[in-house]
């Protein structure tokens, strides 16, 4: 799905901006954890998105807690500091998404557990 969105955006000459939602939604669901937020940001990078929708989840509990907002910002800084542009390759095998960027950075995300399993920084 993300590959098709990326290709369509390129053909139209527009940016691909999305929401790489990994945690369950619903009135009885807990908010995302910092680990889930980090995984969502890496999935967006692996998908080659130009931007990621970051939003506050409004619920009976109110807006997103500052700690989760900071987790989002830190994950964005991590991705921006380690990657440059789109990944050179990205593939899935079962629930695992692996992406590699030029320069040796790679990430493996477990999509079912919403967790970054492995992050290799530049060599």
pLDDT (tens digit, 9 = 90+) per residue, 65-120?
A: 888 889 999 999 999 999 988 999 999 999 999 999 998 999 999 999 999 999 99
Percent helix, strand and coil across the chain, each to the nearest 5: 35, 20, 45
Higher pLDDT, 74 or 58: 74
Residue 123: predicted pLDDT? 61
CB atoms under 10 Å from CB of 55, counted, come to 10
Instruction: Give me the mean pLDDT over the 29-36 stretch.
Output: 86
CA distance 30 to 84: 33
State the pTM of this model: 0.87
Are 89 and 26 contacting, i.e. CB atoms less than 8 angstroms apart?
no
Asked if residue 56 has pLDDT above 70, the reply is no
Torsion of CA 14, 2, 105, 98, to 10 degrees: -170
């Amino acid at each position: 799905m993300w590959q098709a969105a990326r290709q369509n955006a390129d053909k139209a000459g527009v940016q691909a901006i999305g929401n790489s939602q990994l945690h369950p939604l619903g009135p009885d669901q807990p908010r995302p954890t910092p680990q889930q937020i980090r995984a969502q940001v890496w999935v967006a990078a692996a998908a080659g998105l130009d931007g990621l929708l970051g939003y506050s989840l409004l619920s009976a509990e109110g807006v997103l807690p500052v700690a989760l907002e900071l987790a989002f910002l830190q994950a964005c800084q991590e991705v921006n500091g380690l990657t440059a542009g789109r990944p050179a390759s990205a593939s899935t095998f079962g629930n695992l998404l692996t992406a590699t960027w030029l320069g040796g950075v790679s990430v493996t995300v477990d999509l079912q557990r919403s967790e970054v399993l492995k992050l290799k920084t530049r060599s």
